[in-house]
């Protein structure tokens, strides 16, 4: 009788052990996509707050249950969001964006999920790390300002959309001094200037500036101009199997210009 009981108890222990192992099996936790197990993917960075000039080291660690890969891709997406800091030849100045507020922010999509590294299945063994039993793919990304639509000089003015240029003129109308206004509009009559109040221009003068100042005219009156704001970098990483089962990660870094 005791032998039968002992056998029964032993049988229960073995069953529980098998169930426990299956529940915690990391391979099963990977899941299946397109009838194929998706890859495991972990991406780390050497710096969470990079600045212009830094080297951002991207390390993609991946493995797949059946060791089936099509490729691993690393992408970049770059967007500039900048305001304008501008000074005219006689000292008038405007600043359209600070850390706390913005009167004009220009967006420039410089790169949209461009592939910066592609490792195909045939090359994966180059990245195998025996000690960790996975593939580790490093990439050194140098943080530098890429050329976009808007140059960081007076040529920026010509690239502004009509809507953004109209906003800039509206801001300038309240900030311009008399000498810079006369530089832009020589021989302007007295009624273009206010005799009281906080602003140099009267409503007539403001309307004239908003309606008649051209991009070329403003460019000629600029002493200095530069972008102020942020440079947004997004790194995406995809681990892709032959049936296009894809595991992805994404990370965005906001970098001061």
DSSP line for 59-106: EEEEE-TT---SEEEEEEEEEEEEEEEEEETTS-EEE-B-SS-BS--E
The model carries a pTM of: 0.79
Q: What is the pLDDT of residues 10-52, one digit of tens each?
A: 444 444 444 443 323 333 344 445 667 899 999 999 999 999 9
Write down the pLDDT at residue 16.
44
- Please count the other Cβ atoms lying within 10 Å of the Cβ belonging to residue 186: 7
Token pair of 197 as six digits: 């109040």
Write down the pLDDT at residue 34.
66
At 160, is the secondary structure helix, strand, or coil?
coil
- Please count the other Cβ atoms lying within 10 Å of the Cβ belonging to residue 99: 9
Percentage of the chain lying above the pLDDT 70 cut: 86
> What is the rounded distance in angstroms from the CA atom of residue 118 to the CA atom of residue 71?
7
Q: What is the pLDDT of residues 157-201, one digit of tens each?
A: 999 999 999 999 999 999 999 999 999 999 999 999 999 999 999
- pLDDT(7) > 60: no
> What is the rounded distance in angstroms from the CA atom of residue 216 to the CA atom of residue 223?
14
- The domain locations on the chain are 31-256
């Amino acid at each position: 009788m005791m032998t039968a009981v002992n056998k029964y108890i032993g049988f229960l222990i073995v069953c529980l052990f098998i169930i426990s192992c299956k529940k915690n099996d990391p391979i099963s936790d990977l899941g299946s996509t397109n009838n194929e197990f998706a890859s495991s993917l972990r991406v780390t960075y050497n710096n969470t707050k990079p600045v212009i000039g830094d080297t951002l080291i991207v390390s993609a660690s991946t493995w797949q249950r059946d060791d089936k890969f099509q490729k691993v891709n690393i992408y970049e997406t770059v967007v500039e969001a900048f305001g304008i800091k501008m000074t005219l030849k006689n000292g008038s100045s405007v600043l359209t964006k600070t850390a706390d507020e913005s009167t004009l922010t220009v967006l420039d999509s410089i790169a949209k999920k461009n592939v910066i590294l592609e490792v195909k299945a045939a090359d994966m063994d180059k990245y195998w790390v025996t000690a960790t039993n996975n593939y580790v793919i490093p990439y050194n990304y140098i943080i530098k300002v890429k050329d976009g639509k808007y140059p960081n000089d007076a040529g920026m003015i010509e690239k502004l959309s009509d809507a953004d240029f109209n906003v800039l003129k509206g801001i300038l109308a309240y900030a311009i001094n008399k000498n810079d206004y006369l530089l832009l509009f020589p021989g302007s009559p007295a009624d273009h200037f206010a005799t009281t109040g906080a602003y140099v221009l009267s409503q007539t003068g403001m309307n004239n500036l908003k309606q008649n100042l051209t991009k070329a005219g403003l460019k000629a009156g600029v002493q200095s101009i530069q972008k102020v704001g942020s440079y947004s970098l997004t790194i995406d990483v995809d681990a892709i199997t032959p049936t296009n089962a894809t595991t992805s990660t994404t990370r965005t870094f906001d970098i001061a210009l």
